[in-house]
Amino acid sequence: MDRYGTQKEREVSTERTYIMLKPDAVRRDLIGIILSRFEDTGLNMEAMRRLNVSSEQSSELYKEHEGKPFYANLIDYIHSGPVVATVWSGPSAVSIARKLIGATDPAEAAPGTIRGDFGLVLDENVIHGSDSVASAEREIPIFFPDIS
């Protein structure tokens, strides 16, 4: 197993994943280094755009968190500045991306992962990544309606 998964994981059929560099990553000029880490995995970038997340987009993206104590802060944070939305594809794209991203809480993320290296606190953890193929299929059209 290499740092991005086993050979068997890489042989699975091609899938897509949604990756969003959050406002703190953009503010801290981490775009280039983070995207280059994704390129190093062998995944292919299919789409990228820098944008300010709309209320409709944030509500749809984080609908599973609605009603939770941290929801309002999450929405305020995602609206605090521009993000970089991307779509990546390749064999086992979701699991490869999740391994690269690291644990949700930067304090628990391993060194060498994006959150382990760049995340500062749980509320500003640099990056969002789809947690499953089903999530990716739901999240991609929110930001890239032209991708089917």
Residues assigned a catalytic role: 128
Write the DSSP assignment of the chain as a string of letters. Answer: -BTTB-HHHHHSPEEEEEEEE-HHHHHTT-HHHHHHHHHHTT-EEEEEEEEPPPHHHHHHHTGGGTTSTTHHHHHHHHTSS-EEEEEEEEETHHHHHHHHH--SSTTTSPTTSHHHHH--BTTB-SEEE-SSHHHHHHHHHHH-TT--
Residue from 16, 33, 25, 71 nearest 50 by CA: 25
130/114 Cα distance (integer angstroms): 15
